[in-house]
Structure 1
Amino acid sequence: MRIVGGTLRGLKLADLGEGDPAAHLRPTTDRVREAIFNLLINGTHGNPLPGARVLDLFAGTGALGLEALSRGASHATLVDDGSRAHALMRQNIAKARVQPTTVLLRRDATKLGRNTGAAFDVVFMDPPYGQGSGEVALTSALQGGWIGAGAWIVWEESRAPLLPAAMTLLDRRSYGDTVVTLARVAPN
């Protein structure tokens, strides 16, 4: 795995091999990550990344959040409750030298609680496929004040997810067994 674009382009991330099924670590392939960022940056909806605060739920290796930093985001908070994931994220943050702009939280993404900081502009979600945890995590993030008005949601899943009424579907694409949904929270 590597960073596919931006200022950190080509940076090799900590090796995970084929993933860690027991820990539900299934890293986004370079191909799918590149497609996601092309959709964000070159899509018809405008580029939300420059200066954005990014929340990466079910972060795993942290590759999506780090890719966002590489492409202009100002801050990334990476959330995962797995010890293997945290070890990988710490390695990747150190490799990328982005400690000042990155926060690592060991927390269950489906039980975020109240956000005490500023809301996030872009949210990446790559939950374990087919378990419904993406829907629960999104509800938790919205209720806890983690997601700002007008925020962008990028959601990877094995099927098209159910979006809350407060969101508008912008785009949906399939890449093998991965469905990427791009949505936007209603502005205030």
Structure 2
Amino acid sequence: MAHIRKNKNSQAKQNDGVIRIISGQFKGRKLPVKDVTGLRPTTDRVKETVFNWLMQDTRGATVLDCFAGSGGLGFECLSRFANSAYFIELDKQAAVQLQNNITTLKLNNARVLNRNTIDVLSNNADNLVFDLVFIDPPFRKQLAQHACELLEQNNWLTDDALIYVEVEKELNLSAPSNWQIIKEKQAGQVLCRLYQRYK
């Protein structure tokens, strides 16, 4: 029995991956990522596109990485001198790995919430506001739509916040009426959109 369990553990370890930070103070650093069902790290190619869009907007920003998973988007912002980042991740293993990576990078301006993103966004009791938000949920669960609505309804956003959304290309996402698409790209089965919020 012990022998079987050992094989399972080694198999899980082999399936674990890494993300690479592509620019900034941690450029080239590789961070471990747990092999978690539904976790789909943003590819380097897409990440390069997104951060070309955000080139002038990460420094000094307060960042919220919803459905954080690997944390690749939030860590990229911190590498590019964001003021702070909150990572929300439901899966316990993934959340622990996020915290481990924060410790590895010796960051004191990042926090992990091991909770359901929709539950967190449903109540902004601490009146937190963010300049830059990433929404990259598991596909085909209608989570992106709900998250966008809650961000607007519960005052999570600064007046001119930027919101990046990554969804399956066939999803007919309806953003709040005061969000305007400023960038859009399709990469394979993925649709990437950057919205600007207007008060």
Query: Could you say whether these structures have the same fold, taking a TM-score greater than 0.5 normalized by the shorter chain as the test?
Result: yes
Alpha-carbon offset, residue 129 of structure 1: 1.2
1:4 to 6, 17, 22: 22
2:143 matches 1:133? yes
Secondary structure in 2 matching 1:139 = helix
In 2, Cα distance between the equivalents of 1:94 and 1:30? Answer: 23
Q: Is the 8 A contact 1:62 1:92 kept in 2?
A: no
Pairs within 5 Å for 1:86-125: 86-98=95-107, 100-112=108-120, 113-125=123-135
1:62 to 60, 68, 71: 71
In 2, Cα distance between the equivalents of 1:29 and 1:94? Answer: 23
Secondary structure in 1 matching 2:30 = coil
In 1, Cα distance between the equivalents of 2:71 and 2:33? Answer: 12
Alpha-carbon offset, residue 117 of structure 1: 4.2
In 1, Cα distance between the equivalents of 2:67 and 2:150? Answer: 13
Pairs within 5 Å for 1:32-51: 32-41=46-55, 47-51=56-60
In 1, Cα distance between the equivalents of 2:119 and 2:128? Answer: 18
Runs of 4+ in structure 1 deviating by more than 4 angstroms, as ranges, are none
2:94 matches 1:85? yes
Secondary structure in 1 matching 2:146 = helix
Alignment-derived partner of residue 44 in structure 1: none
2:36 matches 1:20? yes
In 2, Cα distance between the equivalents of 1:125 and 1:52? Answer: 16
Q: Is the 8 A contact 2:36 2:94 kept in 1?
A: no
Q: TM-score, normalised by structure 2?
A: 0.83
Alpha-carbon offset, residue 111 of structure 1: 2.1
Secondary structure in 2 matching 1:169 = strand
Alignment-derived partner of residue 144 in structure 1: 154
In 1, Cα distance between the equivalents of 2:41 and 2:33? Answer: 10
In 1, Cα distance between the equivalents of 2:125 and 2:197? Answer: 17
Q: Is the 8 A contact 1:168 1:183 kept in 2?
A: yes
Cα-to-partner distance string for 1:19-51 (whole Å, 9 max, x where unaligned): 422xx211112221122111221xxxxx22110
Cα-to-partner distance string for 1:126-151 (whole Å, 9 max, x where unaligned): 01112210111122222222222110
Alpha-carbon offset, residue 118 of structure 1: 3.5
Runs (5+) with no aligned partner, structure 2: 1-18
Q: Is the 8 A contact 1:110 1:138 kept in 2?
A: no
Alignment-derived partner of residue 191 in structure 2: 179
Q: Is the 8 A contact 1:111 1:140 kept in 2?
A: no
